[in-house]
């Protein structure tokens, strides 16, 4: 189950912003709080707000909600509310709409009551006690979670070494209030939620009809999601998510990556980004020229129509051709959209170049990139030739991946079994990699060495991926797990709803003003 704070935010955001499906996640409350907490130093506005609270008829000990067996105090509710406000502000939203603010406060109060009622039930059932064995397991889970968070944030830090990057990430997370100790503490504090879920759903099973229904829903959802968004499909497939529907034109490939050094990878990445920047400016100029041509053609068409409508009458003046502005035209003129955009300083100088200059610059950068690739290839050429010789001698490709490959995605699931899904329209992989993978004409064929940003790839065409829905038989066991999880969640919330109704909850959101 989610922690307290995550669930409050999910409830509020789901109500106010979007209507979309989401899966339960496991993350510590400290991580969530760290992304939403207000700055340590209060602003003048904060001081004024605190002064106003002090003069209010309500104080932190005012009861803002009550239920059979307990109450919620204003101080606790306002703490949650201030966190939600900070969360909105971190994304540029200001909560100044009365109805929205009222709805948030009501939902916070309802949730806090629900949380206390549910926790009391867990205590009554003896589920809040943590044994030494359970504590050890929870500490191991927390440690795994912490490492995953550190690994994720490491992508955004650049230290002198991997060890230094790790230290920098841990220091940053600590400043945000998230440490290994806090992860362990949170994991133990909320362990009762999973126990309660297991208790409520102990005898729950799903029948074949429910499994089939879940299968149909998954197929429909994947088809809708992946028909136009190939990047999402590729990300889901390489992340090990359950895939119930495949787009057209995909094949499975595996590869052996002979890596460049980190310094070489950084240099190639930087040069590649320069090429992409120039390409962007060229595309922008082409788009602007196309738009101007379309507008000119549209103006000429309107002018021709007006001239034809005059049917030989007196000469038509420019004012008559233009005509009186429509009400919507006046509105457009008065609308100032400057606030919708932000200005940035173009330090590259590309924005001042003509298209011809940009094309020449792109050619120069591409030539430099090719020279760098050729130079770096020579540093791993001996290893590449060694791998190719073993492939030609008939050695097992997957054994060579294990021996020489530097791509972790090939050694863990789903890449270990399935490889990577590739099509001519792939958006997740480097262009050179995609083109080489799609140039292979027969299953089992192996490519020539392909130079990419991270090193040299040797790619094998493993199989074709059948488009459309995956058969029910192939997915049944996985879908049964999914259907059971959905049923467990439904039963949990239905049971909690009954407990809350029986507790006679009454809320007073006006006391949070």
Q: Give yes or no for residue 413 having a pLDDT over 70.
A: yes
Q: Give yes or no for residue 379 having a pLDDT over 50.
A: yes
State mean pLDDT over 264-272: 94
Calculate the alpha carbon distances from 352 to 229, 291, 343, 348 in Å: 34, 20, 16, 9
Structure tokens at 365: 């950068």
Tell me what the pLDDT averaged over the chain comes to: 84
Q: What does the DSSP 8-state code read for residue 63?
A: E
Structure tokens at 389: 């010789």
Spatial CB neighbours of 149, under 8 Å, sequence gap ≥ 6? 31, 173, 178, 183
Instruction: Check if the beta carbon of residue 424 is closer than 8 Å to that of residue 280.
Output: no
Closest by CA position to 474, among listed 232, 215, 164, 90: 215
More confident residue, 341 or 414: 414
Give DSSP secondary structure letters for 463-510. Answer: EEPPPEEPPHHHHHHHHHHHHHHHHHHHHHHHHHHHHHHHTT-EE-GG
Q: How sure is the predictor about 311, in pLDDT bands with cuts at 50, 70 and 90?
A: low
- Block residue for tokens 């606790």: 76
Q: How sure is the predictor about 434, in pLDDT bands with cuts at 50, 70 and 90?
A: very high
Q: Give yes or no for residue 212 having a pLDDT over 90.
A: yes
pLDDT of residue 347: 65
- Block residue for tokens 């039963």: 491
Structure tokens at 17: 């912003």
Instruction: Check if the beta carbon of residue 28 is closer than 8 Å to that of residue 3.
Output: yes
pLDDT per position as a tens digit, 66-99: 999 999 999 999 999 999 999 999 888 888 889 9
Q: Give yes or no for residue 264 having a pLDDT over 60.
A: yes
Q: How sure is the predictor about 419, in pLDDT bands with cuts at 50, 70 and 90?
A: very high
More confident residue, 18 or 398: 398
Q: Which of 107-121, 242-256, 346-360, 459-473 is least confident?
A: 346-360
pLDDT of residue 386: 97
pLDDT per position as a tens digit, 26-66: 223 333 333 333 334 444 455 544 544 445 578 999 999 99
CA 408, CA 104: separation in Å to the nearest integer? 44
pLDDT of residue 342: 44
State mean pLDDT over 155-181: 90
pLDDT of residue 302: 85
pLDDT of residue 161: 86
Give DSSP secondary structure letters for 253-292. Answer: EEEEEEEPPHHHHHHHHHHHHHHHHHHHHHHHHHHHHHHH
Q: Give yes or no for residue 153 having a pLDDT over 60.
A: yes
Q: Give yes or no for residue 336 having a pLDDT over 90.
A: no
State mean pLDDT over 228-255: 95
The SS3 call for residue 57 is coil
Instruction: Check if the beta carbon of residue 226 is closer than 8 Å to that of residue 232.
Output: yes
Q: Give yes or no for residue 343 having a pLDDT over 60.
A: no
- Block residue for tokens 């190719």: 388
The SS3 call for residue 446 is strand
């Amino acid at each position: 189950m989610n922690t307290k704070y995550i669930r409050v935010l999910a409830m509020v955001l789901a109500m106010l912003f979007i209507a979309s499906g989401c899966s339960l996640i496991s993350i510590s409350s400290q991580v969530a709080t760290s992304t939403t907490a207000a700055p340590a130093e209060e602003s003048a506005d904060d001081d004024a707000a605190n002064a106003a609270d002090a003069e209010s008829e309500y104080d932190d000990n005012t009861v803002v909600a009550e239920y059979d067996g307990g109450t919620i105090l204003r101080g606790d509710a306002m703490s949650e509310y201030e966190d939600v406000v900070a969360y909105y502000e971190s994304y540029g939203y200001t909560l100044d709409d009365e109805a929205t603010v009222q709805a948030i406060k009501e939902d916070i109060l309802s949730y806090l009551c629900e949380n206390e009622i549910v926790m009391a039930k867990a205590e009554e059932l003896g589920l809040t006690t943590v044994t030494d064995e359970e504590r050890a397991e929870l500490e191991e889970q927390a440690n795994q979670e912490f490492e995953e968070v550190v690994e994720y944030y490491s992508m955004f830090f650049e230290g002198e070494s991997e060890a230094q990057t790790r230290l920098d990430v841990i220091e940053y997370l600590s400043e945000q209030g998230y440490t290994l100790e806090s992860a362990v503490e949170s994991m133990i504090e909320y362990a009762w939620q999973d126990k309660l879920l297991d208790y409520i759903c102990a005898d729950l099973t799903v029948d074949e009809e429910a499994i089939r229904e879940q299968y149909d829903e998954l197929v429909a959802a994947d088809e809708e999601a992946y028909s136009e968004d190939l990047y999402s499909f590729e990300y889901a497939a390489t992340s090990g998510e359950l895939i119930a529907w495949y787009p057209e034109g995909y094949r499975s490939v595996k590869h052996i990556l002979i890596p460049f050094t980190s310094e070489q990878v950084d240099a190639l990445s930087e040069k590649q980004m320069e090429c992409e920047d120039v390409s962007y400016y060229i595309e922008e100029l082409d788009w602007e020229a196309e738009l101007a041509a379309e507008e000119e053609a549209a103006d000429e068409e309107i002018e021709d129509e007006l001239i034809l409508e005059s049917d030989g009458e007196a000469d038509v003046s420019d004012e008559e051709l233009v005509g009186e502005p429509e009400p919507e035209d006046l509105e457009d003129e008065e609308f100032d959209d400057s606030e919708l955009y932000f200005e940035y300083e173009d330090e590259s100088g590309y924005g001042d170049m003509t298209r011809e200059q940009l094309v020449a610059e792109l050619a120069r950068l591409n030539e430099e990139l090719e020279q760098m690739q050729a130079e770096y290839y020579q540093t791993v050429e001996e290893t590449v030739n060694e791998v190719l010789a073993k492939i030609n001698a008939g050695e097992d490709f997957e054994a060579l991946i294990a021996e020489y490959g530097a791509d972790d995605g090939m050694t863990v699931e789903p890449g270990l079994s399935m490889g990577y899904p590739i099509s001519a329209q792939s958006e997740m992989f480097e262009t050179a990699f995609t083109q080489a993978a799609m140039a292979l004409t027969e299953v089992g064929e192996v490519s020539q060495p392909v130079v990419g940003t991270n090193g040299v790839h040797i790619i094998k065409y493993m199989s074709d991926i059948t488009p459309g829905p995956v058969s029910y038989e192939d997915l049944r066991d996985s879908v049964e797990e999914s259907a059971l999880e959905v049923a467990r969640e439904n039963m949990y919330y239905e049971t909690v709803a009954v407990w809350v109704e029986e507790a006679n909850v009454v809320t007073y959101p006006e006391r949070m003003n």
